[in-house]
Amino acid sequence: MPVIATVTGATGFLGRRLVHSLLEENDLIVRCLLRESSDTDALYENVPVIARERIEIHRGELNDKKFVEEHFANSDVVYHLAAALGGSASTMFLNTVIPTRQLLETAARVNVGRFVLISSMGVYGTQTVKRWGTLDESTPVDPMPEKRDPYTFSKVRQETVAQELSESLGLPLVIVRPGVIYGPGRSAVTSRVGLPLGPMVIRMGGGQQLPYTFVENCAEGIKLAGLTPDMSGEIFNLVDDDLPTGKRILRLMKQQGQRIRTLWIPRGAIGPLSRIYEWYSNWSEGQLPPVLTRHKCEAMWKPLRYSNAKAKHKLNWKPKISTEDGLQQTIAG
Amino acid sequence: MPEPTHKLKIALLGCGQIADAHLSQIARIDSVEVVAVCDVHEDLAYQAAARFNVPKTYTNLDRMISEVRPDVVHITTPAHTHADLSIKLLNAGCHVYVEKPFTLDATESASVLAAVEFSNRSICVGHDQLFDPMWLRCRDWIQRGLIGKVGHIESILGYPIAGNFGALVAANPNHSVRKLPGGLFQNTISHPLYRITDLMDEDQPKIIGGWHTQPEYDFPTEMQLSFQGRTQSASLTFSTHIPPQRITRVYGSKGSLEIDIDAQTIRLNKIAKLPGAFAKLEVSWQHLRNASWNFANNCWRFAKADIHYFAGMKGLFETFYGSIQNGTDPPIPPHQIHRVTQLMDRIFDHCREQDGTSRINNVSTTPNQEVSKCL
């Protein structure tokens, strides 16, 4: 019997790479649950005709319990990638947390073999890690996620819900926490590098490591988290080797002829500036929104090291694309 | 009989996106405290409570009412739930603040207002732009006679369909907004409409114009209406072709006012008194004075931390809470609430008649899970 791997969010930036990675496995069927409006062109791109036969497309809404139940049935593993990437906290919760709760309940009801939840490395609280210390799977999750951005807040809640339901319903669960996923089609200049201000980027520090993972490396790790035996209850961080710094990314972009204007905020100034900004935001009752707070700055730009040892050891994962190559491909577009 | 003054206990029902605006503005008011939030989705109630330090969350309205006994409940659920929830809360002894649109139609509006009479409680609708600092200034200047008698009002709402909420509505044929009798407009035209009715004497003027469906959509997305009264006229433009903007121009016998709620500016243009070519200099001078005044005013307000997107909401909340605490009339009189609802009914009937269509869709009474404000 072939393994049935069901994927939500299969046409997304990461999802289609996961599908391609899964198709490298023999005797495996990839079942994609897509919205009516989802475009499948990129999903089939560069997939050999023979492998295309192993892609099942089912269209419907993830909040349609009947649709989900029908297609979760017989699934050996469900990879849940679908999530909102932007919007207010309520929008993020509505499109990320609430569907996840329903999917987990359905998965337990139809005895899915394993549920792989794609979370984010952003869920960690860095308060307990010293500067230049190592952040790994033993680092606690942020105890005050509501003080972070809506995406991180929704991801922390999504994990909590998943862990509670996994325990109460007896559903085998694996959580994968990728770092910042980049690759062709998505810029390498993210909020970890700095904040956009009109046509400029305010570079925050710049010498600290960034927890990045190239999209194809990340997809490979996620695949292994679903297929490697006896992983129930495990959590894996996915970041590449030889992690880049913001300075390195911006330098590479300039070397490749891209014009990017930056304003540098030295690392030592980030703390005091964030305190002043946070004070002003509170004093003015939100005349300027609290986008730059001490809590957020610590989480985003504190100089840390990021470990991928557990994924390498337990999943036998190895980032195939080097950071240098990944950045070159991304900047080239 | 005035109620004793105490810190009013506020509860909020429906923790979607607009609830954030309510909770952030209530937090700026010292005379009240938010004691609970409620949503059918426990996760939505949780996120709102966590971000705004609300002590209790509920997924059941009856339980919330019996346990926290709120003085005022804010309803921020989808429009099709407003009437039933308002009546239930009024009968339970709560004062009610309802987000716009007040109800689905005038029949529902009449039922709710009857419940207000019966329960001896107050109700307020989210016509918050009437309490925006620039609108209050506009009213003040009109009352002081600066533009003479108001003869025409022009109200514009720019609403790009690709915006956060518009895109959700466009992408989902089952979105609850698409099922409202007036579709997207029912959820959005309250604001530009009450800016007209606030200055127009005639309750139910003649309506000319209609709505329009762009080829790439399967529901009406544009609206252009003219209102003709005996001594006044008005126009309402809802356009998805222009960036978000909320602009009103008020034309009087001595001059005109332009109020831009997003820019927080107001321009007073008086009819030129100088003759011939001198008049061109006089008008330009007025523009320069307007620009200087607005720049100085906004600098001063920025320095005082007085520039807030939902400033009108805070003003309306404060006035509503004050009316409850002091036993005075509510800030939006019930007949004005009903008038806007009646006018919206007439607008949608008129547009359908022009369009040759029946109702945009049947009203769903089933909460749609993709709508954040669900209850």
**B235 vs A238, B137, B156, B347, CA distance in Å?**
57, 21, 8, 12
Q: Cβ separation of A94 and B370 shorter than 8 Å? A: yes
SS3 content of chain A, % helix, strand, coil (to 5): 40, 20, 40
The 10s digit of each residue's pLDDT in B8-39 is 999 999 999 999 999 999 999 999 999 999 99
CB distance B41–A98 less than 8 Å?
yes
Residue B165's pLDDT is: 77
Task: Give the integer Cα–Cα distance in Å for A26 and A42.
Answer: 21
Return the residue in A93, A105, A281 with the most chain B beta carbons within 10 A, the one to mutate for interface testing: A93
Write down all domains in chain B, each with its CATH number in brackets.
8-127+314-340 (3.40.50.720), 130-310 (3.30.360.10)
Closest CA in chain A for residue B174:
A61
Name which of A98, A154, A286 is nearest B308 (Cβ-Cβ).
A286
Structural domains in chain A, sorted by start:
3-184+211-241+306-324 (3.40.50.720)
- Assigned token pair, B66: 């019996």
- Residue A235's H or E segment, with its range, is strand A235-238
Q: What distance, in Å, lies between the first and last C-alpha atoms of chain B?
A: 34
Distance of residue B167 Cα from the nearest chain A Cα, in angstroms: 12
Mean pLDDT of B48-59: 98
Mean pLDDT within B185-199: 96
Residue pLDDT tens, chain A, 333 long: 899 999 999 999 999 999 999 999 999 999 999 988 888 988 998 888 888 999 999 999 898 999 999 999 999 999 999 988 788 999 999 999 999 999 999 999 999 999 999 999 999 999 889 999 999 999 999 999 999 999 999 999 999 999 999 999 999 999 999 999 999 999 899 999 998 888 888 999 888 999 999 999 999 999 999 999 999 999 999 999 999 999 999 999 988 888 888 899 998 999 999 999 999 999 999 999 998 899 999 999 999 999 999 999 999 999 999 999 999 999 887
A281: closest chain B residue by CA: B305
The pLDDT value given to residue B372: 34
Q: Does the pLDDT of residue B1 top 50, yes or no?
A: no
Q: What is the pLDDT of residue B359?
A: 56
Asked whether residue B374 carries a pLDDT value surpassing 50, the answer given is: no
Q: Look at the block and give the residue holding tokens 């935001």.
A: A281
Say how far apart CA A9 and CA A145 lie, in whole Å.
Answer: 24
> Does B370 have pLDDT greater than 60?
no
